[in-house]
Amino acid sequence: MLDLNVDMGILILRIAVGVVMIAHGIPKIFWKRKIYDKKWKNDYGFPIGSVILTGFLQVICGLALVVGFYTQFAAFILTLSMLVATYTSIWKHGEGFLTTPDGKGWDINFLLIGTFLALIFLGDGGYSIMAWLG
């Protein structure tokens, strides 16, 4: 019974955070890439093209999380990405922790990093492609 509950919890966690990452990656690839490229270069100092790379990583790793395919690796890659985003939020923009009506914070980054770290320790779970492949 305990394994069933743990596996269901991992599944819910994987799907929730995977969908969030896919939703954040799609605009970087298709819709707002040029706007993001300019902002990331001017405001953050990131090279042109880093937006599309980040978008692809978010979509691919998000899909891997949703289906449970190399969850630990995908979560590790996304952790690194979110650490860079958090660093940028704190040290380049001086953002506070909480997101408020007055501005963006890094609280959601912190939550995502915690979720990814949990998935690194928990793995794919029983309801995953990796479990099905055996």
User: Domain range for residue 34?
Assistant: 2-133
* Domains: count for the chain: 1
Confidence of residue 4 (pLDDT cuts 50, 70, 90): confident
- In order of 31, 63, 65, 73, the CA distances from 12 in angstroms are 28, 14, 10, 18
Question: Residue 3: pLDDT above 90?
Answer: no
- C-alpha to C-alpha distance for 103 and 126, rounded to whole angstroms: 40
pLDDT of residue 46: 83
Q: Say what the pLDDT of residue 125 is.
A: 96
pLDDT in tens, 68-119: 999 999 999 999 999 999 998 898 888 889 988 887 889 999 999 999 999 9
Q: Which residue has the tokens 């995953």?
A: 128
CA distance 4 to 6: 6
The H-assigned helical ranges of 2-106 are 2-26, 33-39, 50-67, 71-87
Render pLDDT for 28-78 as a digit per residue (tens, 0 to 9).
888 776 777 787 788 778 888 888 899 999 999 999 999 999 999 999 999
